[in-house]
């Protein structure tokens, strides 16, 4: 059966287009790309790259929590950076949220992201616990 559950929380910024923050399907949570947007203001965090990366992970954490899981349940991450020179800083922030055993991960440099001033975007896939699967 093709059941899906949409996951949304006001603790993370709303989608900036026609998509959901996350969808649970067939036992997995598929999270849309998260940017460094402060959900309280709706504006991109402009105090620096590290602060923007931190906000990205906070936003992702709120969505994971709304779905009933956490960073420990993430099986795949995809990161997008506008400058690959930010890779060490991205790893520094990433390591605050993930511990061994790490999820699989890919990181790509992209020419631009969907909101002006964004330096990075992160999307996640997490395995749901059996009682929360759809």
* CATH number assigned to the domain comprising residue 51: 3.30.1330.40
Task: Render each residue's pLDDT in the chain as its tens digit; 134 residues.
Answer: 578 999 999 999 999 889 999 999 999 999 999 999 999 999 999 889 999 999 999 999 999 999 999 999 999 999 999 999 999 999 999 999 999 999 999 999 999 999 999 999 999 999 997 555 44
Report which secondary-structure segment, H or E, holds 49.
Answer: helix 49-67
Crossing angle of the two packed helices 87-97 and 49-67, in degrees rounded to 10: 30
C-alpha distances (whole Å) from 90 to each of 35, 57, 82, 130 are 13, 10, 11, 32
Q: Which of these, 124, 125, 113, lies nearest to 36 by C-alpha position?
A: 113
Which residue is listed with tokens 């991450």?
77
Q: Please tell me the total count of domains within the chain.
A: 1
Q: What is the pTM of this model?
A: 0.92
In terms of residue numbers, what domain contains 53? 4-132
């Amino acid at each position: 059966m093709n059941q899906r559950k949409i996951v949304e929380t006001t603790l993370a910024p709303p989608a900036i287009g026609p998509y959901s923050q996350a969808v649970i399907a067939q036992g997995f949570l598929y999270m849309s790309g998260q940017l460094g947007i402060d959900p309280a203001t709706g504006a991109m965090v402009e105090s620096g790259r590290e602060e923007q990366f931190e906000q990205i992970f906070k936003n992702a954490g709120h969505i994971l929590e709304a779905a009933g899981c956490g960073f420990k349940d993430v099986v795949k991450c995809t990161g997008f950076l506008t400058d690959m020179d930010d890779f060490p800083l991205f790893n520094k922030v990433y390591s605050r949220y993930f511990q061994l055993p790490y999820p699989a991960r890919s990181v790509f440099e992209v020419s631009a992201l969907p909101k002006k001033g964004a330096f990075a975007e992160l999307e996640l896939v997490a395995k749901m616990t059996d009682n929360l699967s759809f």
